[in-house]
Amino acid sequence: MDGSVPWVCTARDIENNAATCFITRRAQHGSEKVVRQHTACAEPFEPPRVIAPLMTRATIVLFCTALSACGSESASESAADLPGGTDSGGQTATGGGSINSASDASSGAGSNPDEAGSETTAVGPDDDSGDTGETGSEDPSKAMPAGIPTPSFGYLHESDLEPTIYVDNTDPGCSDAGGSADTPLCDLFAGSNSATYNAGDVVSILGGTYIIGSDKTLTLDGTEDNPVIVRAADGTSVRFDAQGDRADFTYEGQFGIIEGVDFFHGTSHRVASDAHHLVFRRIEVHNPEGAFIDFNPVFNVSGHDILIYQSMIYDNRRNNDTDSHGIQAGSGSSYVWILDNEMYNNNGDSFQACHNCFDDPPHHVFIGRNVMHEDRENGVDLKTIHDVVVSENLMYGYGSSETSNGDAMVIGSNGYDASTGQGPRRVWVLNNEFRDSATGIRIEGVEDVWIFGNVFTGLRQGLQVDNKQYQNIVITSNTMDDLEAGVYSWNNSCSADSVTITNNLISNVSGHHLELPNCDNLTVGSNLFWDSMSVRIGGQNFDTAAALDTQAYASNHLDVDPQFINDSLVPSAASPAFDGGTDIEALLAELEAAYDGDAHCDLAGQPRPTGAAADIGAYEQ
């Protein structure tokens, strides 16, 4: 990874019209360092490319926090006002959450930093500096990914409180009977394999590496008003090291926060089925390079109201093609939030749910603003799961393996069967970026799915629909560019009750922009195809918008230049995509009514729709 980030100016830079602004990278526990300096920071700012193609560590924590301030009423918010952010973070939310920045330089989608008079400082992927810090008190609804509701507990809960219990294995006076500042515990479990902490306990862990030689059970018996907080002390790097011998951590109880701990070399994690309102914040779960594990998944959630936030799960590999998924939503889990994490190099998927969970499938799972890349299988694999929102994630670097075709995301990889309960139901995929993989999204079977507002670029296929069982498929307001095929059906037959493909901008495709069977209830409308339009539906080829619109299922198509701004994927105000789409209000209202998350913004945070009608593609002017 090269650590590249887009140019972004802070609120202070904009206010002062500064000649120079700094781009910072946030390490996993909150510290920042300047990684690039841009020497031509001046208005006007170009529309943003939202997420850097190659983020390092937890840059997403800093850079992406403000992306979806959809509900913001303030005219301008600097990163200092956002959870965990500081003004030096290089971003500002303006006009309801959009970020002013220059366009990204990758994949032909933005200006080249080297042509902008920039200086680059190399940044490695293993910066361990920083502290756990405290979270802010800003209204979290202003910073949630589009369509995702605020977590029920712990998203912005203050953790920088006065400790009541101390743990420090480097203190010569530590004791398993201790716990005070003068006589701290020697380890979190006081020499046992289990520990219980009670309402109001604030456990501060100092020291360095704690050797974990057996399975552990941690019970956090808090209340909503007085949760249990277990955290690494400020400025302290705390590691729990299993030294390659598998150690299973089980979490029980309710209303607890675990923060800032590095779990290393052979640790697996399980949230018990009766646990609820637990938060895992700024943790890491990983292994040394070249080491292997023998378990799956790495982090399994079976409780409800669980938040995994600003954390990293990576380098969890086996020496064979057996799965080891990063996070799994297990049978019976519900109301699970997976936000602002980075997951990569796992031996299965970054996230999966759920094999054979027909009787008690996970439901209400919200996967937002994560960076997932270079796992052996997929970024997100939805097998049997109900009511899931996948929003504002970046997925890249997925190639073929023994058990994967190289799909960044798979929906219904075991198919859909209403009679048995198999397969996903009510899946919303919005405002994500899929890039540099074989396929962006592959749909193999689902009850209802909405693919809305996403960007697909640098792929063999943008979106592939296999010939399996479906009810309703909606593909609308996406941008696809630099592909071999746009929307592609594996077989020339259709089992869906309805297929709707509208408001998509598909450009620079070497094969077909659309290749589909003629479904009984097919609607194709208000799409823009560019360059050398090639559409094949029901075995019939169309090379102009006018020819396609002669069909009963098609209307209002364009085959003209979208007029992108400065080689980005953002159309200019003069683009025919501007106000060229069909109505999206009913779709957004349905999503918001179902999950109580604000969905009225694009992946740059721009409110949508604006103007006389919705714009075509993922970006709204």
Predicted local distance difference test score (pLDDT) of residue 287 = 95
Model confidence over 235-256: pLDDT tens digits?
Answer: 889 999 999 999 999 999 999 9
Residues 6+ apart with CB under 8 A from 74: none
CB atoms within 10 A of CB 3: 20
Q: Give pLDDT tens digits for 361-410.
A: 999 999 999 999 999 999 999 999 999 999 999 999 999 888 889 999 99
Residue 519 banded pLDDT, cuts 50, 70, 90: confident
pTM of the full structure: 0.80
**Cis amide bond preceding 362, omega within 30:** no
Q: What is the pLDDT of residue 489?
A: 87
Neighbour count for residue 592 (Cβ, 10 Å): 16
Regarding beta strands 342-346 and 371-373, do their DSSP bridges make them parallel or antiparallel, or are they unpaired? parallel
pLDDT tens digits for 448-489?
999 999 999 999 999 998 877 778 999 999 999 999 999 998
Q: What are phi and psi for residue 470, nearest 5 degrees?
A: -145, 165
- pLDDT of 352 higher than 90: yes
103: three-class secondary structure by DSSP:
coil
Domains in the chain with CATH codes: 11-120 (no CATH), 197-595 (2.160.20.10)
Residue 34 has pLDDT above 90, yes or no: no
Beta-carbon count within 10 A of 190 CB: 15
| Dihedral sign, Cα of residue 350, residue 305, residue 471, residue 503 | negative
Average pLDDT of the segment spanning 104-130: 30
pLDDT band at 491 (very low <50, low <70, confident <90, very high): low
SS3 59: helix
Mean pLDDT of 118-128: 29
Angle at 341 (CA atoms; ends 340, 347), nearest 5 degrees = 150
Task: Please tell me whether residue 12 adopts helix, strand or coil conformation.
Answer: helix
Tokens matching residue 435: 């890039």
Assigned token pair, 155: 């998203």
20-44: average pLDDT: 32
Q: Are 499 and 523 in contact (CB under 8 A)?
A: yes
What is residue 251's predicted lDDT score, i.e. its pLDDT?
Answer: 98
Three-class HEC string of 394-434: EEECCCCECCECCEEEEECCCCCECCCCECCEEEEEECCEE
Is pLDDT larger for residue 187 or for residue 17? 187
Q: Enter the DSSP assignment of 366.
A: E
The pLDDT score that the predictor gives to residue 466 is 84
The separation between the first and the last C-alpha atoms of the chain, rounded to the nearest angstrom, is 32
Average pLDDT in the chain: 80
Do 434 and 441 contact (CB within 8 A), yes or no?
yes
Residue 593, token pair as written in the block: 């009514």
Under the banding of pLDDT at 50, 70 and 90, the label for residue 73 is very low
Residues 6 or more apart in contact with residue 219 via CB below 8 angstroms: 194, 195, 196, 197, 251, 252, 253
The single residue listed with the structure tokens 């003004």 is 87
* Residue 197 CB neighbour total at 10 angstroms: 22
67 pLDDT higher than 60 = no
DSSP annotation of 561 reads -
Give me the residue label for tokens 């309710």. 254
Ranges 69-73, 269-273, 553-557, 606-610: which has the least confidence: 69-73
Closest C-alpha among 387, 384, 366, 388 to residue 424:
384
Report, as an integer, the average pLDDT of 100-121. 29
Look at residue 190 in the predicted model and tell me its pLDDT: 96
Q: Is the pLDDT of residue 288 over 70?
A: yes
Per-residue pLDDT, averaged over 18-23, amounts to: 34
Report the distance separating Cα 260 and Cα 235, nearest Å.
Answer: 10
Region 595-611: what's the mean pLDDT? 92
* More reliable by pLDDT, 482 or 321: 482
Q: How far is it, in rounded angstroms, from Cα 67 to Cα 64?
A: 5
Lowest-confidence segment of 98-112, 475-489, 535-549 by average pLDDT: 98-112
Q: Which one, of 26, 25, 30, lies nearest residue 235 by Cα?
A: 30
The owner of tokens 């020339």 is 492
**Average pLDDT of 266-283?**
97
- CB-based contact 301:330 (threshold 8 Å): yes
Q: What is the pLDDT of residue 320?
A: 85
Q: What is the predicted pLDDT for the residue at 162?
A: 95
Amino acid 353: pLDDT: 95
- Closest to 379 measured CA to CA, from 364, 365, 367, 366: 367
Average pLDDT over residues 96-114: 28
How many Å apart are CA 382 and CA 346, to the nearest integer?
Answer: 16
Share of the chain above pLDDT 90, in %: 62
Examine the pLDDT at 512 and tell me if it is beyond 80: yes
pLDDT given at position 292: 92
Q: What is the pLDDT of residue 598?
A: 94
DSSP conformational letter for 192:
S
Whose CA is closest to 90, among 12, 13, 8, 16?
8
Q: Is the pLDDT of residue 170 over 90?
A: yes
> Which among 420, 402, 529, 415 has a CA at the least distance from the CA of 478?
529
- Give the rounded distance of the alpha carbon of 441 from its chain centre: 14
> pLDDT > 70: what percent of the chain?
77
Using the predicted structure, report yes or no on whether residue 149 has a pLDDT greater than 70: yes
Pairwise pLDDT comparison (517 vs 475), residue with the higher score: 475
DSSP string, 462-523: EEEE-SS-EEEEEEES-EEEEEEEEEEESSS----SEEEEES-EEEEESS-SEEE---TTEE
Mean pLDDT over residues 550-561, rounded? 97
Read off the pLDDT of residues 407-448 as tens digits, 9 standing for 90 and up: 999 999 777 887 787 889 999 999 999 999 999 999 988 889
Residue 90 has pLDDT above 70, yes or no: no
